[in-house]
Structure 1
Amino acid sequence: MASLGRPALIQRHLHTVKDGSLETGYLHNPDPLATLTRLDDAKARGHHMSDGDSTSQVRSRSTRSTHAPLLYLGFLVSLLLLAHRIHYALPTPVSSEEGLMLDPATGHQQLRFSEENVRKIVRHLSDDIGYRIVGTAQDQETQDYLIHEITAMKEHAQRQRLRGPLTTGVGESALSLPQFETWIQVADGSHQFDFMSKVVMKMYTNMTNIIVRLSCGPECDKSAILLNAHYDTTLGSPGAADDALPIGVMLELIRILSQRPALKQNSLVFLFNGGEESLQDASHSFITNHELRYSIKAVINLEACGTSGPEVLFQANSRRMIDAYRNVPYPHGTAMGNDIFATGIILSDTDFRQFVEYGNLTGLDMAVYKNSYLYHTHLDVERNLERGLPQHLGENTLALATYLADEVELNGMERTSAVVYFDIFGKAFVSYSMETAIRSHWIIGMLAMVTIAVGASRPTLGSVLSVMLSFAAALSAPILSVYGFRHVITPMSWFSCEWLPLAIYGPMSFAGMFAVQWLFHDRKATRGANELRALSGIQVVFTITMALASIARVASSYFLAMYSLFTSLALLYNYSRARLRHRTAIGVRDVNYSVYFVASSLQTLYTSCQVFSLVDMIVPLTGRIGITAPVDFIVAGVTGFGMFMFAPPLLAYSHRFGRALLKRVIIGLVAMHLVLLLISSWVFYPYDDLHPKRVFVQHQRNMTSGESLLFLAHCDPGPFRDYIVEVEELFGTQADFRDISHSASDWKSVYPFSQFLESYVIDTTPYIRKHTTNRTLSESDMPLTKLIDDAPRLVAENVSYDPVQQIRRLTILCTHPNYIWTVTSFDAEVLEWSMKLDIPSRERFHYVIRHAGGFRTDGWKLELAYRASGPEDRLRIELTAMETEGFGRDVERELRGSGEIGVMRRLVKAKPDYIALTYFSSVLTSFEL
């Protein structure tokens, strides 16, 4: 008898089963498919099957050849490279001359945003002036420079106005230039600043803001958009990116807009903010005190924590403002960033907080974030700003501000986070409401159900569970590897290169994912059936998580919807291919090779861009989140997340070549991971000159104990002891270690950041006595602190006691000539005070009051009433203050009569290239008032 081929077998079953029953009744009609499964199994084992379909056999052999995996993997790598090119693309910088080009149609200057103009400003602020810390002479020098530049632009604009109105073309009406107004605000105030789970009371004195308004007149002045950037810097940095770059951008915007036709509907207010690094004092002062505050209806805050790559929209709280962002030429932002920042995981904050909290404003928070290795270090200088970055930030801000001023009704904007938004490869920007998102997610969910109903998707409980466990394995496998080799590997060996964690931990993540699939591979089913089940499981998992995120109204749910949608479309494509190939009603029983390209194309390209953003943010961040943070585990877990999301169809693809080959692939990936892990640990050192280790140094003179101590602390769990040995040799003194429980009080001068610092402490008294030119001092036992002139002091005035209510009242006066940033701490049950803010506790509480003041601010005053057991129940107050010298200019205040010793100067001069020092000198004194 002639052998029974597959077409004949199918025909026999079609005589006994109604049309369509084999397609939709996959679980209810197992016999035909079981027969097909046995046939496919036989083919997989290499048995000869005379099924009469030689074309299908050839296709099967070709797609499962050794070239097939290389082709698909090459496709994924190509998508990765394309995503890298798209993600980091920056516009071509415009020179100063190009910024003044003439419009050939009108003969008028068609002013363009110029990166070169911005760089000149940034270079002067960061390289020439340098560390612009609130209260220092450089702070005052910066104010003078900005006022001079703004005044020059205002005078130029006035001359242009006197020449008459502009015309935009032949036959068009004349257009007037905008009104140009300026203010200088100097104010005192106070506010509560809760940060890093700590409560901080803030006081400020003589805090300076410089304000510019461009408008079309009284009608425009009724509503305004605020553009904010701060010109001050933190302790350890000249601040080219943070925040001189946005300052330069705002000055360039004023240059352009003051010479263009006046804005049509709303005015623009530019706030050159004088105190952000002192914990957002100047922005608080403006939004609570300045006369323009009532006209401000929205804010655009410009910040930076990096020096390269595109700027990102990372906070937004208004649908209308988010929609306005569609008009920028280079959009870059996603609701995922908004959701992540809102969790508080990222230990950072911006002035945006003050405008929202005290001004009830809606707006956008935009920042440069890539390469934050240089953030708050001495390396944040103009030459390290990537070419094209100022152009990117400037053109986006100019387009956004112009559109808001000309086109948007600002009144009635409501604050909301229920807005979905994302950019499409930096070319387009999409935004829609959460309600629209939920409706679209319903449609995507229904599409997934349709694929299951028609038989295009064939999930099983096991396949769904395998996808969920694969995700868990992708995260846990590299974490377990780090834990297992923690005593062998060097911590943070990957730190100096953002992509290195992907190379080290990526193979282990894939090994974990594929190991789960290997365990769930059904030997009784064909490879094609295993592929189809896994791909269907991916669809179900993402559809369910999309639904849960939608119910929770998480804006980032769009990301999960994308996976569900494209997996459903891929399954439908596979279904149509199967119908065309078999021309029967059998349904789908495997995955066509081309389906993987369909399933991976857009979502892998998009996800690669998001993974780049995530890695750019997380890896440098590990260098400043504290010595107790498990950074190797964090980075391993983040890598695992990125590997899983990169191309989930790989889970299905892993079944394509059989269980035996998959096992060998898993072993190979584990071996690759171990080799790369050990090599990276032995070859790569975590730090170099452009990826430095952050070290805080404080030379503290304790006026109460008479000690003169040098505190050294680091901000990550990476290697540190080698540097301490160098410092010990430098000063000829052994360092003592103090853990965080002690260092919290040692570092009160930088509270609340002190909670992350543990210290090595060196007594500098022997070194000073040895190197002083004053023989009497070198041979004396007198505490060196006796030689300090004009140390900060606290005195009590107007002291009274009410024995009936047991309340003690006093006025605390602080004098601190030539010192800045005082921090006062005490424990008391405070009942009243003169600060214009609520008392945080009605019980005994540990208060920390930080004060910052403008240049030549020599003191402050606080009226206080607290519960006391008697008139002699005094307040014990600890006061720290920083010296004004020493911020980047190789200047150090010497002890009176000690000669040129320079403890800090010597430390800075001997600094290795891989160390970034944040250094200052301070005094500490305890008072009983």
Structure 2
Amino acid sequence: MASISNAALKQRHMKPANDDVNNTQHFGSLDNPFFEDEMMNKKLYPESQNDSFDLQLLYLRFQRRHPYTTAWLLYLGFLFSLIFFACQIHYALPSPVPSELGAVLDPATGLYQHRFSEENVRKIVRHLSEDIGYRIVGTEQDQETQEYLINELKQLKEQAQQESTRLRAMQSDKDVAIEIALPQFDMWVQVEDGSHQFDFMSKECDKNAILLNAHYDTTLGSPGAVDDALPVGVMMEIIRIVSQRPTLKKNMFNGGEESLQDASHSFITMHELRHSIRAVINLEGCGTSGPEILFQANSKPMIEAYSRVPYPHGNVMGNDLFSTGVVLSDTDFRQFVDYGNLTGLDLAVYKNSYLYHTHLDLDELMERGLPQHIGENTLALATYLADEVDLTSSMERTKAVVYFDVFGQFFVSYSMETAIMSHIFIGVLVVITLVTGASRPTVRSLVSVVLSFISALLTPLFSVIMIQALGKSMIWFSNEWLPVVIFGPLSAAGMLYVQWLFHNTRIASGTNELNTLSSIQVSYTIAMAAASVLGIASSYFLAIYSLFTSVALIFNHKRTASQKKSGVDYTAYYVASAIQTFYCSHLAFSLYDLIVPLTGRIGVDAPVDHIIAIMTGFTIVSFSPPLLAFSHRFGCSSLKRAISRLVVLQIVIILVCSAILTPYDTLHPKRVFAQHMRNLTSGESLMYVAHADAGPFYSPYITQIESLYDTKATFRSGNGNNGDWKSVYPFNQFLDSYVFDTTPYIRKHTTNATLSKSSAPLTDLIQRPPVLYSENVSYNPETGLRKLTILCTHPNYIWTVTSFDAEVVSWSMKLEVPSKEKFHYVVRHAGGYKSDGWRLDLEYRAAGIDDKLRVELTAMETEGFGRDIERELEGSGDIGVMRRLVKARPDDVSLTYFSSVLSNFDL
């Protein structure tokens, strides 16, 4: 390579630059168009011919000729490097501790050093999820789980007693001075009537008691490794540790969360210890990887306690989001708060919830280090609460607490009063920047910032129109970050388009930059003030943006003053973006991990493409607001080119993704529900198949089933047909169905020749179906009230659902009648194993003694759930209607299946 002389460089610099660079007026180190000359004249580079010198000159030439590209590449490279590092920190998990290191004897003291061991937890998880399997309330597996846990707890109790004996022996040795008393170990097994309304250790218990809660049952269609065998295993490991060292805990497992939280309700309303409980730590699982998160918290002392855990991960935004009802999920935490008036924390595994409540909730798919993470956090939290906090004092419930983790490294919490004071300080700082001239917003630039924000939210909806026109709804579903690719470029284009419209060509680009950056500061400050007035704890996020934009403006003011320049110095953008982009990335990971998989189970009518597109727009505009100002740096024409390129990129991305992507795959399956319903009243035998999201369904899956049973499906809307899926109430309201008449298939494939030619209803072959009886019927003509006792027998059936319309005055359930008017009642019963009946006393307004109550009864068969598939009809031969459907399940479908019967009774 040949070197370039100083004269040649100077001659080249005398040539006119393009319009955009002339309009820029400045370019940091990148601001100075004669940077190469200065370098040469100051002899910063040796005037010798070598590869290093030539490469640097090539870079300088490229920078001089393409300042627009260089500046964008450097700035965007900086921003994306922040995303990369935030990702590494956000998803980091501790190394698992093996079983042999869970208890190590210290020869110097003779005491065991106990550590939480992931390996111990996984042994329990594997036994529950693989050896026992589907632990549905009322099944044999449910009973087996209870017996297993009781036996394990008895073994831990024996170990604690042995350790206590060993320590007493050590204390009797005169050469050993040690005073240690282990906690007393007691167990309760509670069986209660847990009737409640669902809307969508020593017996002298310490009054300072902490409740650790987890449920061991599973939902339909899932072996429940994470939900909730993992928290059960975590609690067992904590019991092992605390029962062998001087720390007192009270623990509780429950077996009825998936059946609308019956067990937790029973405990907090009926157990003898309920008045001794001061705080609750609820452990849940709705994902299979990543760090667990603090989902909900309702008191300052409990939030402060959480700050002591080794791996904090939580944000008040999640609390605010949960309170809106947007997240269609619920946990036992609600029962403890609503019925026990407790304060506490709700912790949950949430990342990769594609597998939540599916057949893929397996130990082998649970990320390595996850049990260690949640275990060490829970142990530290419970230990601190028990040893350091006096819970007998006032534990006032409040949501007026700001809290957030800082990249999972430490936890910050403070009251709303403190938040208001800090916001006032930030507001004063903003005023100072305005007075000193560091911040120079204009009405024009302020309007442009607000409209850019709105445009960033709405322009991705054009991408929604494109993918839906191509028949590719939800193509972003198979990866949490695909929405950014599929909707992000157009969102950025929309955001910049507003800036192009508002770019003032009568002033320098640098002035446009400063005005826009100043307006970003003012916009966030106004939003912060409004959120503060409304008492929104999440306003801290706005405060961070306002603060660091102000810091950047002050830095820029000093920098430009020292260099006698105007506008925005290039380095000021790095100051403005560093904390904002880094922290936004950290929050965005949690947001996408939570929301994107959730769209696979919120109903077929939910506008999920629109929701995700708008969420993506919010992320784009929050990723680095200073980009709005930076976009003015090279003038109007360069801004226009950036917009056009983003639009073209967006079109290409959508076309390519539509051609090669599908919404579902093996580890990101579509949720499908199948129910073989036998209607004893009508004599019909029907297969209902439904899905829980807006993605493609009829083709090819329904067409495949039509071929399988050699019959055409009939579409049946969930609106007006709520009885179709009453067995899974209240989830039934989300399900539209395709219905298949299975009677022809059964007659064709039965080995019973008589049955194949018979026209009698197949339901006549059902033996001992659920039945409702009425007893003690009476009518009072003066009050117009009719009384009766309803008795239900349901051998070999579980989860009965009874529904009727009546003006109920009183009943025998342990809760108030929810309505004084005529009302549609849905009463669900989920009993234990071999619980074959129930009773309900009822009094309702009627026209007379013969004004009978029309009651619909649905019951689920105990067969299925991973062991058997379906009880065959008596005398029909081995047909296997459900078995055939399960066997033909595609790899990208998660199938929840069961059989049920339906009858109507006049009582």
Q: Structure 2 length normalisation: TM-score? A: 0.92
Where 1:182 maps in the other structure, the secondary structure is coil
Q: Within 2, Cα distance between the matches of 1:688 and 1:105?
A: 56
Structure 1 unaligned residues grouped into runs of 5+: 1-39, 196-212, 583-587
Give the equivalent residue in structure 2 for 1:314: 295
Pairs within 5 Å for 1:3-42: none
The question of 1:143 aligning with 2:146 is answered yes
Where 1:66 maps in the other structure, the secondary structure is helix
Q: Which amino acid aligns with 2:610?
A: F
Give the equivalent residue in structure 2 for 1:207: none
Give the equivalent residue in structure 1 for 2:411: 429
Change (3 A) 1:554 1:700: same
Give the equivalent residue in structure 1 for 2:757: 779
Shift of 1:100: 2.1
The question of 1:87 aligning with 2:90 is answered yes
Deviations 1:773-827 (A, max 9, x none): 1111111001000000110000000000111111110000000011000000000
Change (3 A) 1:72 1:830: same
Where 2:162 maps in the other structure, the secondary structure is helix
Pairs within 5 Å for 1:742-891: 742-891=720-869
Task: Between 483-492 and 658-667, report the one with greater CA deviation.
Answer: 483-492
Shift of 1:98: 1.5
Q: Which amino acid aligns with 2:71?
A: A
Identify which of 501, 504, 509 aligns with 1:527. 509
CA RMSD of aligned residues (A): 2.2
Q: Is the 8 A contact 1:654 1:662 kept in 2?
A: yes
Q: Within 1, Cα distance between the matches of 2:150 and 2:337?
A: 27
Change (3 A) 1:521 1:852: same
Change (3 A) 1:45 1:328: closer
Give the equivalent residue in structure 2 for 1:36: none
Shift of 1:173: 4.1
Q: Is the 8 A contact 1:310 1:332 kept in 2?
A: yes
Q: Is the 8 A contact 2:30 2:67 kept in 1?
A: no
The question of 1:58 aligning with 2:34 is answered yes
Corresponding pairs, count: 859
Shift of 1:620: 0.5
Shift of 1:190: 1.1
Q: Within 2, Cα distance between the matches of 1:191 and 1:170?
A: 59
Deviations 1:25-50 (A, max 9, x none): xxxxxxxxxxxxxxx99996749999
Give the equivalent residue in structure 2 for 1:256: 241
Q: Which amino acid aligns with 1:650?
A: L
The question of 1:177 aligning with 2:182 is answered yes
The question of 1:158 aligning with 2:161 is answered yes
The question of 1:97 aligning with 2:100 is answered yes
Q: Within 1, Cα distance between the matches of 2:216 and 2:616?
A: 36
Where 2:111 maps in the other structure, the secondary structure is coil
Change (3 A) 1:578 1:45: closer
The question of 1:118 aligning with 2:121 is answered yes
Q: Is the 8 A contact 2:467 2:473 kept in 1?
A: no
Give the equivalent residue in structure 1 for 2:48: none
Identify which of 421, 424, 444 aligns with 2:426. 444
The question of 1:396 aligning with 2:358 is answered no
Q: Which amino acid aligns with 2:778?
A: S
Shift of 1:163: 1.9
Q: Which amino acid aligns with 2:873?
A: L
Change (3 A) 1:539 1:787: same
Give the equivalent residue in structure 2 for 1:387: 368
Give the equivalent residue in structure 1 for 2:224: 239
The question of 1:672 aligning with 2:649 is answered yes
Where 1:194 maps in the other structure, the secondary structure is coil
Give the equivalent residue in structure 2 for 1:330: 311
Deviations 1:477-502 (A, max 9, x none): 01133125522241111111111111
Shift of 1:269: 1.6
Task: Between 144-153 and 66-75, report the one with greater CA deviation.
Answer: 66-75
Give the equivalent residue in structure 2 for 1:578: 560
Q: Within 1, Cα distance between the matches of 2:309 and 2:864?
A: 42
Deviations 1:604-659 (A, max 9, x none): 11110101111111110110000001111111111111111111010011111111
Deviations 1:680-701 (A, max 9, x none): 1221111111100000100000
The question of 1:540 aligning with 2:518 is answered no
Pairs within 5 Å for 1:365-764: 365-411=346-392, 412-582=394-564, 589-721=566-698, 722-764=700-742
Q: Within 2, Cα distance between the matches of 1:44 and 1:465?
A: 24
Deviations 1:208-266 (A, max 9, x none): xxxxx3x7x96x71220100000000011110000000000000000111111x22xxx
Give the equivalent residue in structure 1 for 2:70: 67
Q: Is the 8 A contact 2:134 2:866 kept in 1?
A: yes
Q: Within 2, Cα distance between the matches of 1:867 and 1:625?
A: 37
Identify which of 80, 85, 100 aligns with 1:77. 80
Task: Between 59-68 and 269-278, report the one with greater CA deviation.
Answer: 59-68
Q: Which amino acid aligns with 1:58?
A: F
Structure 2 unaligned residues grouped into runs of 5+: 1-15, 37-62
Where 1:163 maps in the other structure, the secondary structure is helix
Q: Within 2, Cα distance between the matches of 1:69 and 1:717?
A: 38
Q: Is the 8 A contact 1:691 1:914 kept in 2?
A: yes
Q: Within 1, Cα distance between the matches of 2:228 and 2:254?
A: 10
Change (3 A) 1:42 1:386: closer
Shift of 1:741: 1.9
Give the equivalent residue in structure 2 for 1:14: none
Where 1:716 maps in the other structure, the secondary structure is coil
Q: Which amino acid aligns with 2:73?
A: L
Q: Is the 8 A contact 1:875 1:928 kept in 2?
A: yes
Q: Is the 8 A contact 2:24 2:510 kept in 1?
A: no
Q: Is the 8 A contact 1:743 1:759 kept in 2?
A: no
Where 1:813 maps in the other structure, the secondary structure is strand
Percent identity between matched residues is 65
Give the equivalent residue in structure 1 for 2:6: none
Q: Within 1, Cα distance between the matches of 2:659 and 2:809?
A: 59
Q: Structure 1 length normalisation: TM-score? A: 0.90
Where 1:327 maps in the other structure, the secondary structure is coil
Q: Within 2, Cα distance between the matches of 1:44 and 1:899?
A: 83
Q: Is the 8 A contact 1:743 1:757 kept in 2?
A: no
Q: Within 1, Cα distance between the matches of 2:274 and 2:802?
A: 31
Q: Within 2, Cα distance between the matches of 1:697 and 1:742?
A: 19
Where 1:148 maps in the other structure, the secondary structure is helix
Shift of 1:108: 2.2
Q: Within 2, Cα distance between the matches of 1:173 and 1:661?
A: 77
The question of 1:268 aligning with 2:237 is answered no
Q: Is the 8 A contact 2:268 2:339 kept in 1?
A: yes
